[in-house]
Structure 1
């Protein structure tokens, strides 16, 4: 059965929002434990199959800047929607930028006196978000200029790190917004820190993927939709298109849903799709991990698929490689959480998650302002 036919009973919009944010945090947290290890080091620590579960982490794990910035993206969007719901127009990208400046303050990075001083909000009082968890250099330096980067006036014009993609799922979770607006919101927000075309377009493609899933599309259907929208851009980024095309090809040929049992090895995954440090690679690795682990013979009508099993398999595949494991794990978790809703989140994993009340608090705020 092809993965576009695999579609479980539709979760509620509220469940998709909670699932996407919590799922991303789980993938981020498992991956953060091995982010700077190559596959040989991962196997040395956890055995030949690599890191399989939070139970293998005696000291537990934390989520990284990926989850921090995702939640601050939520906060910026929530503020813009609060203004809109009160009948006042607001610049959504400016609200996101101000939210990112508040995140930057949690990292101890000063900005020039000319930069605005955002008013504090609920998220800023959450201690779990004030730790420095290997934030991306381009995110730090782009925001530290105190200038609001745009497509036409970029900061870090040559940077295409994955720091844009890993924070962009929330743009796709806003209901009743046209796809064109979702793409623009996400790519404009990427320009706040990264100026390269691939960074913008990868963030836009990821947000469209989440948007399609939240609208009820299947996994492969949504992935092909995002890929096709990427091809339709006036200046499509070849590296992004080729990576996503290859991810879909590999998932079709090696995935469980195609009747195959052999997934790509961590070495082959990196060789084919990259390590995930740059935007298009991170999205491609996560997408392969999600699509290749769709259970063989999955049939929602007979409840023959376990969403939690699919989630675990995909996250394990997404983080066990020589590369940016927390970002690839986070993106994969966002995708599956948006698809299944909260049903895919393993209870034992949630028990190991840092500050779930903060993540749920931001999810509730997004649910409230969107009427989900």
Structure 2
């Protein structure tokens, strides 16, 4: 029987299978948003450092924990834009719950324009005015934390980019992927809808097919985890959708996206548990630095899968033991996602989103949460999304 690259035979146990009982949907939402913010915050401390500088500052193992940072580290534009994605979806859900149809991508565009205003960039006069919402009153979101050029320039045009009329046609930066987890958190949607919502929203700022396809695959991965699939199973399912039909008619899968994700699955399959991990240098050589969309997703996916505990450590575990294993997994995966020469906050943010959606909030280390900037804002957005989705 043939298998995907790096896929174990059907009879073999797959690392990272779901626990029983499964996390509640509200816990997955909270875990996803908080987990992404934790990875983002730790990675932001070294975002522009190469691995030699990280080792020189933190030792041979690199940055492993918030305790090494002293004064801590704020979250970046990755978390800001993820929360504004959540708010755009939330507005569309609120309209729908009131029985009024809304243009979902327009809601997202308006949300991103409000984020643009928090970055000290004038919102184009041609853009529609929207009254402020709860998220806009949160001062912590008004700091400029190294936002991506394509996100800023694409929104500053005042044009609502689409797949057919893209802004930044050649842009394929990771700014699409790092903000797209919330699309996978909306229940009762089919994969085609999840992919379309995510890809359309990516096109608001980035025009390259790899940027929107990577965002769409990431959202499908989150969607599959929320539906109860295991980590590797969800990744294979999302990649299968990319290959097999969720794309717009006439658009082929971008070969770089497919190649990077296949490599992440293969390499992770060669590194079970905590042994045999790629060095940071080899990680970058094999999967890239993470500045572009498909590389960021591949690095994060590798970090999650390569550090996943085997099923034998989880089978029959009580909730307390399962929580310990999930927190250990979270710490190990984020460390891999942070410690490389590349876009450490984005790769770690994506990894944190994945683990939080899979395990729920139980995987989040309490000592890390104590260092997180403005957790009440993230919890506030999570609770609003949970209420709007009936979680």
Partner Cα separation in structure 2 for residue 19 and residue 307 of structure 1: 12
> What's the CA shift for 1:254?
1.6
Match of 1:302 among 297, 302, 317: 317
> What's the CA shift for 1:5?
6.3
Pairwise mapping of residues 246-285 of structure 1 onto structure 2 (< 5 A)?
246-256=263-273, 261-285=275-299
Pairwise mapping of residues 109-148 of structure 1 onto structure 2 (< 5 A)?
109-148=121-160
- Encode CA deviations 1:128-156: one digit per residue, 9 max, x unaligned: 10000000000000000011000000000
Q: Secondary structure at the match of 2:333?
A: helix
> What's the CA shift for 1:112?
2.5
Partner Cα separation in structure 2 for residue 302 and residue 109 of structure 1: 51
Partner Cα separation in structure 2 for residue 198 and residue 298 of structure 1: 37
Q: Secondary structure at the match of 1:254?
A: coil
Residue 79 (structure 2) pairs with residue 62 (structure 1): no
> What's the CA shift for 1:113?
1.5
Who is 2:99 aligned against? 87
**Number of aligned pairs?**
369
Residue 387 (structure 2) pairs with residue 368 (structure 1): yes
- Encode CA deviations 1:10-59: one digit per residue, 9 max, x unaligned: 00000000000000000000000000000000000000000010000012
Contact 2:296 2:346 (8 Å CA) reproduced: yes
Partner Cα separation in structure 2 for residue 2 and residue 316 of structure 1: 25
Structure 1 length-normalised TM = 0.97
> What's the CA shift for 1:300?
3.0
Q: Secondary structure at the match of 2:232?
A: helix
- Encode CA deviations 1:257-315: one digit per residue, 9 max, x unaligned: xxx71200000000000000000000000000000001244323135651000000000
Query: Which segment drifts farther, 299-308 or 11-20?
Result: 299-308
| CA-atom RMSD in angstroms | 1.1
Partner Cα separation in structure 1 for residue 149 and residue 304 of structure 2: 28
Partner Cα separation in structure 1 for residue 23 and residue 291 of structure 2: 32
Q: Secondary structure at the match of 2:360?
A: helix
- Consecutive unaligned residues of structure 1, counting only runs of 5 or more, are none
Partner Cα separation in structure 1 for residue 132 and residue 16 of structure 2: 45
Pairwise mapping of residues 1-372 of structure 1 onto structure 2 (< 5 A)?
2-3=13-14, 6-9=17-20, 10-232=22-244, 233=247, 234-256=251-273, 261-296=275-310, 297-303=312-318, 306-372=325-391
Contact 1:7 1:218 (8 Å CA) reproduced: yes
Structure 2 length-normalised TM = 0.93
Partner Cα separation in structure 1 for residue 289 and residue 195 of structure 2: 25
